[in-house]
Amino acid sequence: MIIASIDPTSQAYAAGQVFGYMSAAAIGIGLLWWLTRSWRKESTPPGRDPARAKGKRTWFIAGVSVFITALASVKAFASYHPEPRAIETRAADGAEEYPVIILPDLFERFRLLKGEAATRAETEVLAGRDLPHSLRTGYYDQDADGAYDLFVLVTSSAWDPKVAESKATKSISQEFRNVFAGAKARDVARFDPGQHGGGLDCGHVSGPDGDQSLCAWSDAANLVVVRHVHETDLAAAARTTLALRDAATT
């Protein structure tokens, strides 16, 4: 399971690493000066200039302090590799992506349920619960039996300011960590997100009749979760999710 509490890809974590290195250096330098205070002030042999001798000792400790600071700075700089914020996502060709998600009526072998069939599917999925107004749903039937095989949840900064705020502060890994931890997913793996860039992860979740697959994709503006009711192969679920993403992104 992915753990939501610590995200080593976040900018805050990277900044904390830098702060840790520099703090350790500052403490080390402080201890160095404190431990050498007697040595820097000790008496000099007869015939030698006391002020000059003490000055050399002080300059030596100052040089060691500069070396420690430089070493810590290099280490801190090398450790600062945060994942970009979700809003900074770029497509495979390097272009900034602000795609609009419009769920297609048909993609591959899946058809979007409408009317009474969609109502029945939503009643079954929600079981009396209310979804936030900002969430949009879609239900897809693969084998034309009127029952849903895919359940899709769409959130977007295009209509929800809270999503825009989240995209501006969190990385895609943070978004996925929250999604899959909330769903109690396991075996979560990263897959190729395709031409639109961003991220695509899938994992296993428990369903009423056994394991199901849960996938999520994220880009600069959208976070979409797809539950595969009858698919346990994560690679197959990822391919289907990517096909839906390509068909839904305009």
Structure tokens at 40: 């820097």
User: How many other CB atoms are there within 10 angstroms of residue 57's CB atom?
Assistant: 16
- For residue 202, what are the β-bridge partners? 189, 215
**What pLDDT shows up at residue 81?**
53
- Helices then strands, counting H and E runs in the chain, come out as 7, 8
Torsions phi, psi for 63 (to 5 deg): -65, -40
**What pLDDT shows up at residue 4?**
40
Q: What is the pLDDT of residues 80-109, one digit of tens each?
A: 555 778 888 887 767 766 788 999 999 999
Torsions phi, psi for 89 (to 5 deg): -60, 140
CA–CA distances in Å: residue 167 to residues 133, 182, 229: 19, 18, 28
- For residue 141, what are the β-bridge partners? 111
**What pLDDT shows up at residue 1?**
34
User: How many other CB atoms are there within 10 angstroms of residue 225's CB atom?
Assistant: 21
Among the listed residues 181, 179, 150, 168, the one whose alpha carbon sits nearest the alpha carbon of residue 220 = 168
**What pLDDT shows up at residue 33?**
81
**What pLDDT shows up at residue 5?**
43
- For residue 107, what are the β-bridge partners? 110
**What pLDDT shows up at residue 192?**
93
Determine the Cα–Cα distance for residues 230 and 225; give it in Å rounded to an integer: 16
**What's the CA dihedral at 55, 60, 61, 65 to 10 degrees?**
130
The segments of the chain whose pLDDT lies below 70 read 1-18, 21, 40, 42-54, 76-82, 93, 96-97, 250
Q: What is the pLDDT of residues 47-56, one digit of tens each?
A: 555 566 667 7
**What's the CA dihedral at 182, 184, 190, 195 to 10 degrees?**
-50
